[in-house]
Structure 1
Amino acid sequence: APPMGQGRSDVARAHARLWADETARVDVARKMYAYRFGRVLPHSDISVLRGIEGGRLKETYKIMANKYGVPWHARRYDRQRPEAADLPNQAINHAATFVEAAADAAVAAVGALPPLGFIHEQSSNAFTLDVADLWRAEITLPLAFSVAAKVMRHPRLSLEPETRREAAAWFRKHKLIPNMIDRIKELLHVDDRRRHAQRV
Structure 2
Amino acid sequence: MLPPLKPIPIKERLSVIFIERGEIDVVDGAFVVVDCGGERVRQVLTHVPVGGVACIMLEPGTRVSHRAAALAARVGTLLVWVGEAGVRVYSSGQPGGARSDRLLYQAKLALDDDLRLKVVRKMYAMRFGEEPPQRRSVEQLRGIEGARVRKTYQLLAQKFGVTWKGRDYDPESWDASDLPNRCLSAATACLYGVTEAAVLAAGYAPAVGFIHTGKPLSFVYDIADLYKFETVVPVAFKVAAAKPAMADRAVRHACRDVFRQTRLLERIIPDIEEVLAAGDISPPAPHPEAVRPALPNPESMGDAGHRA
* TM band (smaller chain): 0.7 to 0.9
- Residue pairs, 1:174-185, within 5 angstroms: 174-185=262-273
- Residue pairs, 1:28-177, within 5 angstroms: 28-41=119-132, 42-150=134-242, 152=243, 155=244, 157-177=245-265
The gaps in structure 2 that reach 5 residues or longer are: 1-8, 12-75, 77-95, 283-308
Pair member with larger Rg? 2
Secondary structure of the residue aligned to 1:75 is coil
Contact 2:183 2:251 in 1 (8 A): yes
Secondary structure of the residue aligned to 1:137 is coil
2:106 corresponds to which of 15, 23, 45: 15
Distance between the aligned counterparts of 1:181 and 1:137, measured in 2? 18
The percentage of counterpart residues that share the same residue type is 39
TM-score, normalised via structure 2 length: 0.56
Report how far residue 9 of structure 1 moved. Answer: 5.0
Report how far residue 29 of structure 1 moved. Answer: 1.1
Secondary structure of the residue aligned to 1:72 is coil
Distance between the aligned counterparts of 1:188 and 1:137, measured in 2? 21
Matched, 1:26 2:117: yes
Whichever residue aligns with residue 27 of structure 1, its letter is: K
Question: How many equivalent pairs are there?
Answer: 186
Report how far residue 71 of structure 1 moved. Answer: 1.7
Distance between the aligned counterparts of 2:204 and 2:267, measured in 1? 15
Q: Which has the higher strand share?
A: 2
Q: Per-residue displacement from partner, 1:88-128 (whole Å, max 9, x unpaired)? A: 01111111111111111110110111111000000111101
The gaps in structure 1 that reach 5 residues or longer are: 192-200
Distance between the aligned counterparts of 2:187 and 2:101, measured in 1? 31
Q: Which has the higher helix share?
A: 1
Report how far residue 136 of structure 1 moved. Answer: 1.9
CA RMSD of aligned residues (A): 2.3
Q: Which has the higher contact order (CA 8 A, sep 6+)?
A: 1
TM-score, normalised via structure 1 length: 0.84
